[in-house]
Amino acid sequence: REDMLLIKKTIDASSDLQLFLKNPIIKKDQKKAALRKIFDGKIQDITFELYELLARKDRESLLEEISNKFIELYNQHQGIIKVGVTSAKELEEAQLKALQKNIERTTGKKVEFKTNIEEELIGGLKIRIEDTVVDGSVKFKLSQLKDRLTSTEVE
């Protein structure tokens, strides 16, 4: 799993590497040498052999897609869910641990956070668990209050 995460992060971080791997004009040996240089000592040999197999079958452009799918299936098998947490300021470790414990208790699954900061939330949190979004931000609550006040008829 760690190998695939590293491959995914590396490819996602570099549009040049993405184009390089998908370019049919660049020879397989050049791609192989470049990847060996990038990942040498960082991934297991068997993981690199997967890339070599893909290259032999003219499918090296699928490496990113395969690593994404592997991570998705691994997480599903291990009962791990990705949770997006957006806050107005960086959360402290203790806050994240408490949130993690609460979500794990509620869902019965292990949690991996992806945190994001949006100062315009003013305060509170916006949490995304798979397809569900819970918006507890001050910005959202103020918006709801404004909607209620503007829709209320005054006699």
Q: State pLDDT tens for residues 55-85.
A: 888 888 888 899 999 999 999 999 999 999 9
Domain boundary among 12, 39, 74: 74
Which residues are CB-contacts of 129 (< 8 A; sequence separation ≥ 6)?
81, 83, 103, 107
Phi-psi region of 124 (alpha: psi -120 to 50; beta: other; left: phi over 0): left
Q: How far apart are CA 89 and CA 122, in angstroms?
A: 9
- What is the percent of the chain with per-residue pLDDT over 90, rounded to a whole number? 52
Average pLDDT of the residues of the chain? 90
Highest mean pLDDT among 15-29, 36-50, 102-116, 140-154: 102-116
Quick one: pLDDT band at residue 148, thresholds 50, 70, 90?
Answer: confident
Quick one: pLDDT band at residue 125, thresholds 50, 70, 90?
Answer: very high
Same domain, 111 and 67: no
Edge-to-edge, what's the strand order for the sheet holding 125-129?
Answer: 110-117, 80-87, 125-129, 132-135
Three-point CA angle 40, 43, 47, nearest 5°: 115
CA distances from 100 to 14, 71, 93, 97, 113 (A): 31, 20, 10, 5, 8
Same domain, 25 and 51: yes
Same domain, 41 and 95: no
Q: How many domains would you assign to the chain?
A: 2
* Range of the structural domain that residue 106 is part of: 80-151
Residue 133: how many CB atoms within 10 A of its CB?
A: 11
